[in-house]
């Protein structure tokens, strides 16, 4: 019997348990979430999922469709879409996580996935989507926003920097197996 396989299963279960625990805490942080009116930016509904999955598949090589569907249910209040002429042209999915600071428990949000339809890139839609969703994060006293971006995705890095994100560190295996990415953060308070 292969010992590596025996030791891998408990590790997978532990990671799955931790993720479920964080997601549950994140859902709790959305209680009483205040939403604001945003021009052409709103929250997801089930009728938009097929278009969101198409945009995601167009922009990313890794399969996350199951996670996106799950997040569309669990984190609906912070799953934003941007539309043009009533057609979804992009999305941004956040999840919430608590952290302990000197002031007590604070809220951080993490961008799980963001993408704009290839026909609408470099036209300001990604920036608008980020700015509008971040404005709502501020209203709801989110301390900071985190994201991970592949070090080779220069257009996305430039967009994040224009929006105020700073590179915190370089990490491996977050954006994909054996891929390097930057952890970036935007402090709101």
CA Rg value for the chain: 17
Task: Give the residue with greater pLDDT, 71 vs 183.
Answer: 183
DSSP element (H, E) containing 17: helix 3-29
- Adjacency order of strands within the sheet including 79-84: 41-43, 79-84, 87-101, 104-116, 142-150, 180-187, 166-172
Q: At what angle do helices 154-163 and 125-139 cross, to 10 degrees?
A: 40
- Count of the separate structural domains present in the chain: 1
pLDDT value, residue 107: 92
Range of the domain at 72: 3-141
Asked if residue 174 is part of any domain, the answer here is no
HSE (side-chain half, CA atoms, 13 Å) at 114: 28
Q: Which of 58-62, 99-103, 114-118, 179-183 has the lowest mean pLDDT?
A: 58-62
Q: Does the pLDDT at position 160 exceed 90?
A: yes
pLDDT value, residue 28: 82
Asked if residue 182 is part of any domain, the answer here is no
Asked if residue 37 is part of any domain, the answer here is yes
Between CA 18 and CA 14 the distance in angstroms is 6
Angle at 61 between CA 59 and CA 62, to 5 degrees: 115
Asked if residue 178 is part of any domain, the answer here is no
Asked if residue 153 is part of any domain, the answer here is no
138-163 average pLDDT score: 96
152-171 average pLDDT score: 96
87-102 average pLDDT score: 91
Asked if residue 7 is part of any domain, the answer here is yes
* Close Cβ partners of 119 (under 8 Å, ≥ 6 residues apart): 89
Q: For the chain, what percent of residues have pLDDT higher than 70?
A: 87
Helices (H), 30-174: 49-59, 65-74, 125-139, 154-163
Q: Does the pLDDT at position 52 exceed 80?
A: yes
Q: Over the stretch 2-29, which tens digit does the pLDDT of each residue have?
A: 545 555 556 656 666 666 666 777 788 8
Asked if residue 47 is part of any domain, the answer here is yes
The CATH code of the domain that includes 85 is 3.40.630.30
Asked if residue 185 is part of any domain, the answer here is no
């Amino acid at each position: 019997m292969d010992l590596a396989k025996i030791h891998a299963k408990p590790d997978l279960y532990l990671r799955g348990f931790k993720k479920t625990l964080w997601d549950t805490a994140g859902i709790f942080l959305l209680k009483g979430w205040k939403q604001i009116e945003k021009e052409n930016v709103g929250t997801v509904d089930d009728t938009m999922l097929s278009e969101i999955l198409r945009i995601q598949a167009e922009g990313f090589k890794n399969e996350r469709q199951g996670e996106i569907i799950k997040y569309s249910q669990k984190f609906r209040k912070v799953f934003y879409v941007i539309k043009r002429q009533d057609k979804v042209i992009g999305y941004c999915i956040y999840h919430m996580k608590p952290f302990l600071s000197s002031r007590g428990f604070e809220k951080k949000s993490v961008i799980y996935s963001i993408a704009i339809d290839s026909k609408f890139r470099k036209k300001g839609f990604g920036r608008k989507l980020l700015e509008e969703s971040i404005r709502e994060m501020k209203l709801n006293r989110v301390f900071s926003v985190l994201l991970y971006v592949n070090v080779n995705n220069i257009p996305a890095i430039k967009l994040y920097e224009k929006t105020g994100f700073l590179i915190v560190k370089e990490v491996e295996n977050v954006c994909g197996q054996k891929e390097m990415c930057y952890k970036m953060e935007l402090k709101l308070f």
